[in-house]
Amino acid sequence: MTDPYLAEKIGGWKTKTSKVVYENPWIKVCHEEVVTPKGTDGIYGVVHFKNTAIGVLPIDEDGNTWLVKQSRYSLNQYTWEIPEGGCPQGESPLEAAKRELEEEVGLKAHHWQEFMRLHLSNSVTDELCIVFIARDLFVGQQQLEASEDIEYQKIPLQDAIAMVMRGEITDGISVAALLRAAQGLS
């Protein structure tokens, strides 16, 4: 007989208990007691992200893109990335992408296309990322948040892809978007 207190999950996992051990405006961390697919007891730590991650790959008519260089607190280093940010509940991903592109590099775009979706670190988080391509670009106004120390650079898209291949861009969203772009934009 199945224990009525176990929450069934796909793949044969069962959640026995779930307790929030940390929470802030961006994440919630849960400690869970589980039954594994093989029927053994175990534990799992799950990080729930309250925002959807957003990435923007701006491309102009000459095949250039814009990268941002910023300090990343958790890594204690500077990274090169495509413009990125968060989409809180209640905001559409497209509106968040438009906001992030203008905030970080001072650009707006007439044409937007959802380019890809990916899960980031799916072994312990539920974080979803939506990447958009922005085209037909025009000047807006850069409006950095207090937590951002961004420099941006306009470079040929092919040079940004080469930076990924040389290991100079390691941000997962940027790597995925630029490698997909290397396979052809559609």
| pTM for the model | 0.91
- For residues 61 and 72, the answer to whether their CB atoms sit within 8 Å is no
Token digits for 55?
């990435």
Which pLDDT score, from 0 to 100, does residue 46 have? 95
Which pLDDT score, from 0 to 100, does residue 3 have? 53
Q: Is the pLDDT of residue 88 over 90?
A: yes
In one letter, which amino acid is 175? V
Question: Which carries the bigger pLDDT value, residue 146 or residue 13?
Answer: 13
Which pLDDT score, from 0 to 100, does residue 21 have? 98
Question: Which carries the bigger pLDDT value, residue 143 or residue 137?
Answer: 137
CA atoms within 13 A on the CB side of 139: 0
Closest CA to 185 of 52, 54, 60: 60
Q: Is the pLDDT of residue 75 over 70?
A: yes
What percent of the chain has pLDDT above 70?
Answer: 96
Q: Is the pLDDT of residue 34 over 50?
A: yes
- What would the pLDDT profile of 41-68 be if each residue is shown by its tens digit? 999 999 999 999 999 999 999 999 999 9
In whole angstroms, what is the distance from residue 120 CA to residue 127 CA? 6
In whole angstroms, what is the distance from residue 186 CA to residue 113 CA? 9
Which pLDDT score, from 0 to 100, does residue 147 have? 80
Closest CA to 102 of 139, 133, 131: 139
Q: Is the pLDDT of residue 1 over 80?
A: no
CA distances from 103 to 1, 154, 182 (A): 56, 15, 26
Q: Is the pLDDT of residue 74 over 60?
A: yes
Which pLDDT score, from 0 to 100, does residue 186 have? 53
Phi first, then psi: give them for residue 68, nearest 5 degrees: -115, 145
Strand locations in the chain (E): 7-8, 14-23, 27-35, 41-49, 52-58, 64-72, 77-81, 84-87, 107-119, 128-139, 151-156
Question: Which carries the bigger pLDDT value, residue 143 or residue 170?
Answer: 170
5 pLDDT band, cuts 50/70/90, is low
Q: Which residue has the tokens 């092919």?
A: 158
Q: Is the pLDDT of residue 8 over 80?
A: yes
Q: Is the pLDDT of residue 83 over 70?
A: yes
